[in-house]
């Protein structure tokens, strides 16, 4: 499978990143192992997680996803050389706020390393903006971790164009490490967050871009066509707002391209993201081996200019 440079991180990844948010939430450890094995066997190689996955589940405290990934790696250490591990820091883990302070980062990286059972995290992301911590303090903490070999590259999630530009300027002015990757929300339904100044900045600065919410909470799979369909999944209630004329037009465009290509709507929606100039890869999760196989097909799918035009027009 052809890979792409992840900005200037030094890593090349397949054009589909596996979302680890479901591990320890809707997928138990044994099932997660099967999914991870299938993912690597399909030629895919980047896994995204976070220290806070999955604090929203009753009885969980965060770290469940990292722990499962670490146990999977420990079971077969040869897999470590075949995957790029992306994790995040800065979410509220009980301290009552988003936190990118030096103390929190230096403490929390140790917990993530321990759970992941690795010597170094490949790409370490600031999960959320922290208005109470200067960029220089955050980037200075990352400098220490880079110098210690505990992380290999850094990035950020959920920054807007102004916030990202400020962080890059501080890095340049003060000789601190630069963010190399951005992780924004982006999909056919929700394009404005990334498109425009933010994506232009990422292109100009050679940042890798990996997108989350790539399937709009599953709506772009095509399985939600009416309110009666919302009960098909525990996450169905989250897509009710997409049941609009524009949402149905996008599903219609996906169906049209599916008829021509033989691909599934979800595969087409992911391939559309991967085809956007400046985007490295979408992130998508899976709960069955069959869904992993579908992700692998999406990574190999090449849409024609006509297909992209159909999707662009419906989602504009």
The strand pair at 12-13 and 4-5 is best described as antiparallel
SS (H, E, C) 183-204: ECECCCCCCCCCCCHHHHHHHH
Q: Note the residue count of the chain.
A: 316
Q: Please identify which of the residues 53, 124, 179, 242 carries the catalytic annotation.
A: 53
Could you tell me if 208 and 7 are in contact, meaning their C-beta atoms sit under 8 angstroms apart? yes
Handedness of CA 169, 172, 174, 180 (dihedral sign): positive
**Alpha-carbon gap, residue 20 to 220, rounded angstroms:** 19
**Alpha-carbon gap, residue 171 to 167, rounded angstroms:** 6
Going along 44-174, which residue ranges are E strands? 46-48, 84-89, 123-126, 154-157
Could you tell me if 217 and 238 are in contact, meaning their C-beta atoms sit under 8 angstroms apart? yes
Element (H, E) at 274: helix 265-274
Could you tell me if 14 and 269 are in contact, meaning their C-beta atoms sit under 8 angstroms apart? no
242 is catalytic: no
Return the number of other C-beta atoms located less than 10 Å from residue 169's C-beta.
12
Phi, psi dihedral angles at 64 (to 5 degrees): -65, -45
- CB-count burial class (<10 Å; 0-12, 13-18, 19+) for 17: buried
Torsion, Cα 213 217 221 222, to 10 degrees, reads -130
**Alpha-carbon gap, residue 64 to 21, rounded angstroms:** 9
Hey, which residues are catalytic here?
Answer: 53
């Amino acid at each position: 499978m052809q890979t792409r440079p992840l900005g200037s991180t030094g890593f090349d990844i397949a054009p589909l990143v596996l979302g680890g948010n479901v591990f320890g939430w809707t997928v138990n450890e044994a099932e997660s192992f099967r999914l991870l094995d299938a993912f690597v066997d399909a030629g895919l190689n980047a896994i995204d997680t976070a220290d806070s996955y999955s604090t929203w589940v009753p009885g969980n405290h965060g770290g469940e996803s990292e722990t499962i990934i670490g146990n999977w790696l420990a079971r077969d250490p040869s897999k470590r050389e075949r995957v790029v591990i992306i994790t995040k820091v800065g979410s509220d883990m009980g301290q009552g706020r988003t936190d990118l302070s030096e103390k929190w980062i230096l403490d929390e990286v140790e917990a993530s390393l321990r759970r992941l059972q690795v010597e170094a995290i490949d790409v370490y992301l600031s999960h959320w903006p922290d208005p109470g911590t200067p960029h220089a303090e955050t980037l200075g903490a990352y400098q220490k971790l880079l110098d210690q070999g505990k992380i290999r590259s850094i990035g950020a999630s959920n920054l807007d164009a102004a916030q990202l530009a400020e962080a890059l300027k501080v890095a340049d002015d003060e000789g601190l490490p630069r963010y190399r990757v951005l992780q924004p929300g982006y999909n056919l339904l929700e394009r404005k967050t990334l498109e425009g100044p933010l994506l232009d900045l990422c292109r100009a600065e050679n940042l890798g871009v990996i997108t989350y919410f790539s399937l709009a909470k599953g709506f772009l799979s095509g399985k939600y066509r009416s309110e009666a369909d919302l009960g098909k999944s525990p996450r169905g209630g989250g897509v009710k707002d997409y049941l609009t004329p524009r949402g149905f037009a996008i599903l219609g465009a996906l169906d049209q391209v599916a008829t021509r290509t033989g691909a599934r709507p979800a595969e087409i929606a992911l391939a559309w993201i991967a085809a956007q100039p400046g985007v490295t890869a979408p992130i998508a999760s899976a709960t069955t081996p069959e869904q992993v196989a579908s992700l692998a097909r999406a990574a190999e799918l090449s849409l024609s200019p006509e297909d992209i035009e159909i999707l662009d027009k419906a989602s504009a």
